[in-house]
Structure 1
Amino acid sequence: MPPGTLQVHRDAITGTATAVIVLAVLLLVAALSGASASAQAASDRHNVLVIYVDDLGFGDTGVYGHRVVKTPHIDGLAAEGIRFTQFYAPSALCSPSRAGLLTGRTPYRTGVESWIPDDSRVHLGRRETTLADLAKARGYRTAVIGKWHLNGGLHMRDVPQPRDFGFDYQYGLAAWVKNASVADSTELPRRGPMFPDNMYRNNEPVGVTDKYSAELVSDEAIGWLQASSDPFFLLLTYSEVHTPIASPPAYLDAYREYLSDEAKHNPFLYYFDWRNRPWRGRGEYYANISFLDAQLGRVIGHLRDQKILDNTLIVFSSDNGPVTDAALTPWELGMAGETGGLRGKKRFLFEGGIRVPGIIRYPHRIEAGRVEHRAVTALDIFPTLAEWLDVDVEPRVPLDGQSLWPLIDGDSFERDKALYWSIPTPDGMEFAVREGPWKMILDSYGVPRHLFDLSNDWYEVNNLLDREPAIRERLLLAYRSIRRSVENDPLAAARKTSPR
């Protein structure tokens, strides 16, 4: 990596970005090193690809145990890298989880506590430093291609957008796939392929498209990669397997035996019109996972063809647990996510809602085919990348993750604080904390309701709250300590005094 340590942050008190300072340091390093040294440093920089998919469950891929779905490209990443069996999303919902991934900070710190509705003024706090900021501090070109969902819409002019968080380039949709020609049809039930018409490129509407979302995202990613040979940071965020699930006919045909007659005879039925109709089977869900896998495989294949795959640090994960066939809302109908038997699902703080696939591929430091059982979180990606890029971040701004390089390199790895989650949930269980094998779930008042020993009870069947009073009190203290830190977070305090 280039010599010297850089520092990047957005000031916690005044909110003034320090990009000018970073640029000055970069220029000074270049001047001292000389043009040839700088060119050599650029050639030594390895790329970063973070793949974050939507609602993919812990048990939704072949490598994580699905007995039907074929996911050769995801399985290949695991075979060539490290696969985590206890990898956690920052939240059980998409917007807060994405905020946590980008910042390394538990989502309540960042101003994003739940999913963000269309046209809402809720957004990721302007002063937050992101993964893209880290990469830009080292001179990388940066892009987010796919789903954003960290504000109320990519069309909004008065809320921060990807360009305000270190991204040079943006393509994709704000939240989920829409198609007005289908949604506004007077035919009932409504029908038509869900080609998204709500894509944006650099915050300008793309208009009508003629492909499904994942293919559009991969097309754009490959085009952006081809545009320059400079080192890159790419956040690739597929909207699959989030409803409305839509896949090309070839993928539906591959899982035809898992489709009911209803689905076979109505392949393009609009998902909101599934209510009170016969069960459609699991095939559409299975097809969408394989379609997603094939599309991310195209991007990986492009890197391989360009002979830069092994010089690219790849992180793959999902933003939260799946929507299972236990539908709680109309938009969940027809889904068939798998948690691998774990309790709960998307929107809940039991394991099924927050434990997700997690894979890192980087052959320069990671042995192929390694399986890691220690608990990690997507919050760890920010400090891991900061260390790898040799970029210091503002020490006054608390991080909730920690670098995974000691774990990856086989050194001693101990968490310096408990894992922590907070989200409004349908069952009122708003908080969770994990320390070692012990996990406690608390209600919205901070009252402990569940205590599990995950070393003996992954499936959270045996509530030990009354049988382990010492453990309960220890985790309660850890919860209170982290919650105080969140409530007194300097960036959150700055937003209250100067909201922007």
Structure 2
Amino acid sequence: MRKIVCALVILIGFISCKNEKSSTSAEKQKTNTVPNIVIINFDDLGYGDVSFNGSKTIQTPNMDSLALNGVRFTNAYAASATCTPSRYSLLTGIYPWRKEKAKILPGNAPLLIDTSRVTLPKMLQNSGYTTGIVGKWHLGLGSGDINWNAQIQPGPNEVGFDYSYILAATQDRVPTVYIKNGYVVGLDKNDPIEVNYKENFEGEPTALSNPEMLKMKWEHGHNNSIVNGIPRIGFMKGGDTAKWNDEEMANVFLKEAQNYVKTNKKKPFFLYYALQQPHVPRTPNPKFVGTSGMGPRGDVIKEADWCIGEFIKTLKEEGVLENTLIVLTSDNGPVLNDGYYDDAVEKVGNHKPWGDFRGGKYSMYEAGTRVPFFTYWKGKIKPGVSNALFCQTDLFSSLAQLVKSNEKAKDSEALLPVLMGESTHGREQLTLQGSLGTFFRKGDWAMIPPSKGPKLFKNVNIESGASDKYQLYNLKEDIGEQNNLSEKYPDKLEELKKEYQNSLAE
């Protein structure tokens, strides 16, 4: 009898052990099929600013290594030609023109995203991901007058990010401080921060009152408070111990991104790594000054490429690169002089930040919204080039497909096979936004409705796309949008006008 009992105990133990091993194996397999996700979003990087898109003047070897071993998209778009609306769309899956306040925000604007909305990071949270943002935010903070000296809510943490380390708006806007999980980093409570976008604080120097304090000369729009010798947009008082060092900003964000990976590598993580380059003011670290031969704008692109290389090293060292999907893109098209004299115009030479396209940042022409874009997942995505029509708005639903989430967003199309390079069947059409209005893409056609406003944004020397007539371009034959075909193809124009109006009414 004792032998029978012992045999049963051994048998049960064997079955239990086998089941435990099977369970562990199944859990490991499940973990391996759910990748970490990293979105790297540049600020004002043009389609032609990177060597993986053909630039011969600026070399970006670290980005090239990823792009040429992943899927490089030639027909991918930001939803808007400016930053705040573009970023709103990427995180919500909603066209920014549906949101009236989705414009370029001041640094003290309230949070633009409704905290009840399911965002990309919330969707991933609900699918078991830890979520983080490092870098530029520019989607507003708080719900009214912000007290910068206490916890600032709501913000990134209230719309789906477990961890946030950000600059509130842009590098050229106050407040010039980092904010970690709602708190200003390094703040001395005896030197409280005050911010105002309407009037200066008594006795505080500005670019107009104290030009002798400037180390960077402003050209337009940047003549308010001076921080680190750089004139900014908006007025700020106090917070001296918390103010950032502009030349160290890229390193600060890189280290935060690296630490986020190291801290969260044992579970699925999502990181939105929002680089500040090459937005103005362009302040490369001293070791990158002069490396491009094109002045600070070229230098900060080189610096950003180096940062990406260092970040990829960290993914390798922490053993997570092979299970990480990387998406790299830019929030809108390029601009040279955007408010400071920094030799961007004088030293551009033969370089074409806009590539073969017309326009640039702010514009309804192609260079305003057609941006660098690639996906990389070692061993999962085969190298290739895709001409599929894709928009950053589609990241929400495409990544939902990846993690098997049922969440949906109004304007986001589920195109995971396109992201993975398994299909070239992208979107049929897109309704995009420039500074002066919306415009339409379908197939090889671009249609720009009549709009009021200047044809040239003189401050930045970029064509707006405005006209008193409809514009119709066949991008397959005329990528530079030089030949308006609206009169030659009236039937095609009427077809697109109708579909464009239907998209606005949806």
TM-score after normalising by structure 2: 0.74
Measure the CA separation in 2 of the matches of 1:135 and 1:250: 37
Measure the CA separation in 2 of the matches of 1:206 and 1:43: 44
Partner of 1:374: 388
Instruction: Supply the AA of the counterpart residue of 1:191.
Output: K
- Shift of residue 393, structure 1, vs aligned partner: 1.3
Following superposition of structure 1 onto structure 2, how do residues 63-82 of structure 1 map, counting pairs within 5 Å?
63-82=52-71
Q: 1:207 aligns with which of 242, 245, 250?
A: 242
Structure 1's 472 and 393: CA in aligned 2 closer, same or farther, altered over 3 A? same
1:420 aligns with 2:431: yes
Measure the CA separation in 1 of the matches of 2:137 and 2:241: 15
Is the 2:329–2:372 Cα contact (8 Å) retained in structure 1? Answer: yes
Partner of 2:261: 225
1:303 aligns with 2:310: no
- Shift of residue 442, structure 1, vs aligned partner: 1.3
- Shift of residue 254, structure 1, vs aligned partner: 2.1
Following superposition of structure 1 onto structure 2, how do residues 38-437 of structure 1 map, counting pairs within 5 Å?
41-42=30-31, 44-121=33-110, 123-151=112-140, 160-177=154-171, 186=210, 188=212, 190-191=214-215, 207-210=242-245, 212-228=248-264, 229-255=266-292, 258=293, 282-324=294-336, 327=337, 330-331=339-340, 334-336=343-345, 338-368=353-383, 370-394=384-408, 398-406=410-418, 408-411=420-423, 413-415=425-427, 417-425=428-436, 430-437=437-444
Measure the CA separation in 2 of the matches of 1:294 and 1:131: 27
- Shift of residue 122, structure 1, vs aligned partner: 6.0
Measure the CA separation in 1 of the matches of 2:269 and 2:342: 39
355-364 or 384-393, which deviates more: 355-364
- Shift of residue 461, structure 1, vs aligned partner: 0.3
Superposition RMSD in Å? 3.2
Measure the CA separation in 1 of the matches of 2:361 and 2:368: 4
Measure the CA separation in 2 of the matches of 1:302 and 1:182: 42
- Shift of residue 108, structure 1, vs aligned partner: 2.1
118-127 or 143-152, which deviates more: 118-127
The SS at the match of 2:406 is strand
Partner of 1:483: 504
Partner of 1:491: none
Task: Please list the CA deviations of residues 426-451 of structure 1 after superposition, one character each: whole Å capped at 9, or x if unmatched.
Answer: xxxx1111111011011348986210
Is the 2:321–2:378 Cα contact (8 Å) retained in structure 1? Answer: no
- Shift of residue 384, structure 1, vs aligned partner: 1.1
Measure the CA separation in 2 of the matches of 1:475 and 1:183: 49
Measure the CA separation in 2 of the matches of 1:35 and 1:483: 50
Measure the CA separation in 2 of the matches of 1:342 and 1:308: 37
Task: Please list the CA deviations of residues 352-391 of structure 1 after superposition, one character each: whole Å capped at 9, or x if unmatched.
Answer: 11111001001343112x1112221111211110000000
- Shift of residue 52, structure 1, vs aligned partner: 0.4
Instruction: Supply the AA of the counterpart residue of 2:116.
Output: R
Instruction: Supply the AA of the counterpart residue of 1:472.
Output: L
Task: Please list the CA deviations of residues 179-205 of structure 1 after superposition, one character each: whole Å capped at 9, or x if unmatched.
Answer: 59997794615128679999xxxxx99
Structure 1's 87 and 44: CA in aligned 2 closer, same or farther, altered over 3 A? closer
- Shift of residue 213, structure 1, vs aligned partner: 1.5
Instruction: Supply the AA of the counterpart residue of 1:438.
Output: W
313-322 or 375-384, which deviates more: 375-384
The SS at the match of 2:75 is strand
Measure the CA separation in 2 of the matches of 1:413 and 1:289: 32
216-225 or 175-184, which deviates more: 175-184
Instruction: Supply the AA of the counterpart residue of 1:250.
Output: K
Task: Please list the CA deviations of residues 305-327 of structure 1 after superposition, one character each: whole Å capped at 9, or x if unmatched.
Answer: 22211210000000000003xx4
Partner of 2:456: none
- Shift of residue 412, structure 1, vs aligned partner: 6.3
Instruction: Supply the AA of the counterpart residue of 1:221.
Output: A
Q: 2:482 aligns with which of 448, 461, 466?
A: 461
Structure 1's 473 and 160: CA in aligned 2 closer, same or farther, altered over 3 A? farther
Structure 1's 457 and 93: CA in aligned 2 closer, same or farther, altered over 3 A? same
Instruction: Supply the AA of the counterpart residue of 1:386.
Output: A
Structure 1's 125 and 188: CA in aligned 2 closer, same or farther, altered over 3 A? same
Measure the CA separation in 1 of the matches of 2:394 and 2:267: 26
Measure the CA separation in 2 of the matches of 1:475 and 1:450: 11
5+ residue gaps, structure 1, are 1-32, 199-203, 259-281, 486-500
- Shift of residue 74, structure 1, vs aligned partner: 0.8
Structure 1's 146 and 470: CA in aligned 2 closer, same or farther, altered over 3 A? same
Measure the CA separation in 1 of the matches of 2:101 and 2:57: 36
Is the 1:111–1:125 Cα contact (8 Å) retained in structure 2? Answer: no
Task: Please list the CA deviations of residues 17-72 of structure 1 after superposition, one character each: whole Å capped at 9, or x if unmatched.
Answer: xxxxxxxxxxxxxxxx9888556634543100000010000100111122221211
188-197 or 101-110, which deviates more: 188-197
Task: Please list the CA deviations of residues 265-310 of structure 1 after superposition, one character each: whole Å capped at 9, or x if unmatched.
Answer: xxxxxxxxxxxxxxxxx32111110001111221111001222112
Partner of 2:9: none
The SS at the match of 1:393 is coil
5+ residue gaps, structure 2, are 1-21, 178-203, 217-227, 234-238, 346-351, 453-466
Task: Please list the CA deviations of residues 203-235 of structure 1 after superposition, one character each: whole Å capped at 9, or x if unmatched.
Answer: x99814455211110011111211232210000
Task: Please list the CA deviations of residues 77-107 of structure 1 after superposition, one character each: whole Å capped at 9, or x if unmatched.
Answer: 1121010111111100000101111122211
Measure the CA separation in 2 of the matches of 1:142 and 1:130: 12
Is the 1:60–1:338 Cα contact (8 Å) retained in structure 2? Answer: yes
Partner of 1:442: 449
Measure the CA separation in 2 of the matches of 1:82 and 1:372: 7
Instruction: Supply the AA of the counterpart residue of 1:215.
Output: N
Measure the CA separation in 2 of the matches of 1:83 and 1:348: 24
